[in-house]
Amino acid sequence: MLTQMIFPSILTDSLDLVQEQLNLVQGFVSGVQVDIIDGEFADNITIHPIDLQHVSVGNLTIDIHLMTNDPINDIVECQSVPNLRAIIAQIEHMPSQKDFIDHVKSFGWKVGLSLDLYTPENEIVDDILKQLDILQVMSVKTGYQDQDFQQSALEKIKQSAERLKTLNPTCELFADGGITPITWKLCKEAGATRAAIGHDLWSSQNIAESFQELLY
């Protein structure tokens, strides 16, 4: 049975590696998250959304996680992404959260906002929180995989879960960064409903066993 709780996170500048990782998780998950970094928001550069038109995603849905300056400028390019489910973007270099949300929704996709490790959760006000399909809390500094989970994120997840329970109970609450079976359990206990997981999964010698460990 495909899990809708775990979203493998793909962060690379290699389209071949994107395809390889998509192939690895077919049959285990319903969707993946693809990280897009422009070299300005963080000192790293990945593929662009338009590049994904050249990969085969099978039955997987794609969530795009934009770590870019003024991410509203990247939305149109996302039309090239096959099976696009959602666009999630970091708020730190986003001039208008409302404009971003409205623009994504105009295409019919789910919309999400993401909080970097040191960004307070109250940077997203109640009226904006009510409009989200996805709220993502980073438990590492954005930009790179293979970082250690930061326990400080748990309080932010807990606070976010409490706000969502009242304001937007159907919103998906993602934990992203340093996710392992142990840290995912902590995030779930704090209120997270989804996990974006990268390095721990891709470094596994047995993908099937890794998913079993994450789910039980």
SS percent in the chain: helix, strand, coil, step 5 = 35, 25, 40
Question: H or E stretch including 120?
Answer: none
The pLDDT value given to residue 147: 84
| Alpha-carbon distances of 209 from 24, 196, 203, rounded to whole Å | 13, 17, 12
Each residue's pLDDT tens digit, 20-35: 999 999 999 999 999 9
Identify the band that residue 2 occupies on the pLDDT scale cut at 50, 70 and 90: low
Q: What is the pLDDT of residue 52?
A: 97
pTM of the model: 0.96
Lowest mean pLDDT among 73-87, 136-150, 164-178, 192-206: 136-150
**Average confidence (pLDDT) over 105-133:** 97
Per DSSP, 45 falls in state: B
* Mean of pLDDT values over 186-204: 96
Q: What is the largest CA-CA distance in the chain?
A: 44
pLDDT at position 1 is 56
Asked if residues 12 and 46 have their Cβ atoms less than 8 Å apart, the reply is yes
pLDDT of residue 94: 97
